[in-house]
Amino acid sequence: MVFNNPGLNRITSALRDYINATISFEILSNEMNKNTKSLMRMLSPAGNPTSKSLFAIFHAVQKIKKLRLSVSLK
């Protein structure tokens, strides 16, 4: 599944900023066994990550930072 939602740019932008400010794309790419440039492109304003890729990034960030992310609806 590929996301096609205007809100996706806000999510990928926030995730990209968080990665740059905390762990770096190099560390993330090593954890995921993915190319650094590929991950950066995926989270760029022109990027369009699949849901599988996006959730894999969230999973890796949680593992690296020892976080637990959750989503709730109001």
Domain count, the chain: 1
Instruction: Break the chain down into helix, strand, coil percent, rounded to 5.
Output: 60, 5, 40
Kindly state whether residue 74 falls inside one of the protein's structural domains.
Answer: no
Kindly state whether residue 46 falls inside one of the protein's structural domains.
Answer: yes
* pTM for the full predicted model: 0.84
Output phi, psi for 50, to 5 deg: -75, 160
Kindly state whether residue 49 falls inside one of the protein's structural domains.
Answer: yes
Kindly state whether residue 2 falls inside one of the protein's structural domains.
Answer: no
| For range 36-57, the mean pLDDT | 93
Using DSSP, state whether 50 is helix, strand or coil: strand
What the block records as the tokens of 6 is: 């205007």
Q: What is the pLDDT of residue 41?
A: 96
Using DSSP, state whether 43 is helix, strand or coil: coil
pLDDT at 67 over 70: yes
Q: What is the pLDDT of residue 4?
A: 58
Kindly state whether residue 28 falls inside one of the protein's structural domains.
Answer: yes
Structural domain of residue 24, as residue ranges? Answer: 8-65
Kindly state whether residue 31 falls inside one of the protein's structural domains.
Answer: yes
- By the 8 A CB rule, do 62 and 68 touch? yes
